Amino acid sequence: VGENGTVNLTHHHGLCNDFLVALVHE
């Protein structure tokens, strides 16, 4: 659920995407 929710939020922000994606991928 976290991954899906994060992707959705990041897609809306864009910039935050890079930050969150890095954390999720790490």
Full residue range of the structural domain in which residue 2 is found: 1-26
| Tokens at 23, concatenated | 């954390």
pTM of this structure: 0.28
pLDDT of residue 7: 59
What is the spatial distance between Cα 3 and Cα 8, in angstroms, rounded to a whole number?
Answer: 9
pLDDT tens readout for residues 1-26: 455 555 555 555 555 567 777 777 66
CA 6, chain centre distance (Å): 4
Q: How many domains in the chain?
A: 1
Handedness of CA 7, 11, 12, 18 (dihedral sign): positive
Query: How far is residue 16's CA from residue 7's CA, in Å, rounded to a whole number?
Result: 10
